[in-house]
Structure formats: structure tokens, C-alpha cells
Amino acid sequence: MITCDFEYDGRLLSDFGYVLCSFDGSGGAETSPTGFDITFNKVSRSRGRVNSLIGTSYDGCVEGTFQICKDPDKYSDPEITIEEYRELARWLNRHAFLPFRTINGSPEPDANTCYFNGSFNIGKIYIADMLYGLELTLETDAPYGYGLPVERTWTVSAGGSVTLTDTSDESRAIRPDMEITCNASGTLTVANAMTLSTMRIENCTSGEKFTIKGEEQIIASSLATHKVFNDFNYVFLTIGNTFDNQDNIITFSLPCTVTIKYKPVIKDIP
């Protein structure tokens, strides 16, 4: 499928009156790197006849290079002025990794939408000393992308369980963001049978709300009097999957209302 537009930090390329293009005139099929190539670390055994796998790693993040020019249906003059160039550079060349996605049809995101966190370096394309295009080099923060945020809310009884199906394309453990409101006092444990992680908070009070930022590994209580850092085991709940099983069965020791939010991993390319 041909990409016709992209979104970066909430704005579309087409909002600026530009389109994706190619200035080299090449055609035909080509192979595109995915960015999520795995390096397999091996050790030789039996005089080189067998190699054992001792570990794996990603060697890089998703990268991409593409070109843009003015949309001929919107501009009669294809030359890019210095003011127009600076407007694009201000938008794209940022000191932060911000959400980026390609658009292959409707700009409305759906279940298959893949986001990347990235920023751009920009090169100028001149023809006869006039600026007609820009070459954008995308740099991202990971060897894969992310899907639309998943958010689930449940109210459970003491000892009750919920099932969260992780649709990620990667089996690595993810620390989700959580909000937990206790409906009884006591020690709260939250255990996931899939990842064998158990989070424990002691001295909880009925009505107390815990806000947990999983990736940042931050926990806070709605009660200023609860020194939660003294009562927390610092095991942040993780979710994940295996090739054969995507169901995370999560059990709560106290009755509570819980919301879990996370972004599933998607192995796609821009």
C-alpha cells in the first residue's frame, strides 16, 4: 500500500500543503529494512558442528528516509521559500521524540494504526539553485512501533481475577499505567500469572487511590498521610504474552476498582 500522507505531533503533512514524492526518478520494487532485526548471540559447541543460542538483542531503532515537495494541486509555484522551509523545520526538527504515523487512506486511526516516537533531520533538495524539495530522515526511539492505547477498567472482589489479552507483536514484558481504588483496607497484592509478577502495597485504606506510572516506575497515593514508599515492594506489575498464550490473568487480594492502560507493541515499518 502506498503512503500518501503522515502525521507528526498531531498535524498532517497535507495540512502544510505538501505531499510525499521522489526526486530520483527510480521505479520498480525494492526491499525495505524493518528496523527490528534481531541479533542472535551464539556459542560454538562440538567443534563448531552445533551453536547454542545464549541471548538475543536488537541492534538499532526504526529509521526511514523519504522526500516531500509542494502539492501541485495547491501550489502553482513549486519553489519552497525560506519562510516555508523554516515553518516545516520548526514542525519536524524537534529536540524530542514525538508521535509519528504514516497514513495510507483515511486519516482516522483504527485498530491497525502503528505509531512511532521520533524526530527528523532535514536535507534540502535543489534543482537549478532553487529549493524544490526536502529529504526527511526519521529517527525513532525503539526497534518497533506502538498501537493505539489500550484501556480496561474492572471492579473486582477480594481474590477476584480479570483477564487482559495482550495483542503485542513482541513477547517482552510491559509495565502498564494503573489506577487502583481500594474498596477495603488491608494489604493489596496484584499478581499476574503470565509474567509471574506480584505487586504488594501494605496498609491500604478503603477509598484510597493509587496512581502508577509503569514505565517510569512511579507510584503515588491519594492520601498524603500514607508513606507508600515504605509499604510498597517496588515490583511493578508487568503484562506480556507468549507465542501460544496472550491472556494475562491478574488477581487482586482486596476488592477494588482498577484501570490499566498501555500501548501494545506493533512490528511494522513507516
pLDDT bin (cut points 50, 70, 90) of residue 2 is: low
**pLDDT for position 157:** 97
The pLDDT value recorded for residue 61 is 82
Supply the pLDDT for residue 100: 95
What's the confidence (pLDDT) of residue 51? 66
More confident residue, 167 or 57: 167
- Per-residue pLDDT at 263 exceeds 50: yes
What pLDDT is stored for residue 28 in this prediction? 38
Q: What is the CATH number of domain 149-266?
A: 2.60.120.860
C-alpha–C-alpha distance, residues 214 and 236, integer Å? 7
Condensed to tens digits (0 to 9), the pLDDT of residues 184-224 reads: 999 999 999 999 999 999 999 999 999 999 999 999 999 99
Residue with the larger pLDDT of the pair 38 and 240: 240
The CATH number corresponding to 5-34+60-144 among 3.40.50.12280, 2.40.30.200, 3.30.2320.50, 2.40.50.140 equals 2.40.30.200
**Model confidence at 120, in pLDDT bands (50, 70, 90)?**
very high
Kindly state the cell numbers that stand for 38. 534481531
- Domains 5-34+60-144 and 149-266 agree in fold: no
More confident residue, 57 or 61: 61
Mean pLDDT of the chain: 87
pTM of the entire predicted model: 0.77
pLDDT of residue 53: 56
Name residue 248's amino acid: N
What is the per-residue pLDDT for 41?
Answer: 63
SS (H, E, C) the chain: CCCCEEEECCEEHHHHCEEEECCCCCCCCCCCCCCCCEEEEEEEEHHHCEEEEEEEEECCCCEEEEEEEECCCCCCCCCCCHHHHHHHHHHHCCCCCEEEEEECCCCCCCCCCCEEEEEEEEEEEEECCEEEEEEEEEEECCCCEECCCEEEEEEECCCCEEEEECCCCCCCCECCEEEEEECCCEEEEEEECCCCEEEEEEEECCCCEEEEECCCCEEEECCCCCCHHHHECCCCCCECCCCCCCEEEEEECCCEEEEEEECCEECCCC
Q: What pLDDT score was predicted for residue 46?
A: 54
- Residue 32: the pLDDT is 41
- For residue 49, the number of C-alpha atoms closer than 13 Å in the C-beta half-sphere is 2
Counting residues of the chain whose pLDDT is more than 70, the rounded percentage is 85
Sorted by where each begins, the domain ranges of the chain are 5-34+60-144, 149-266
Mean pLDDT of 57-64: 72
Q: Can you give the pLDDT at residue 106? A: 73
Judged against a pLDDT cut of 60, whether residue 29 lies above it is answered with no
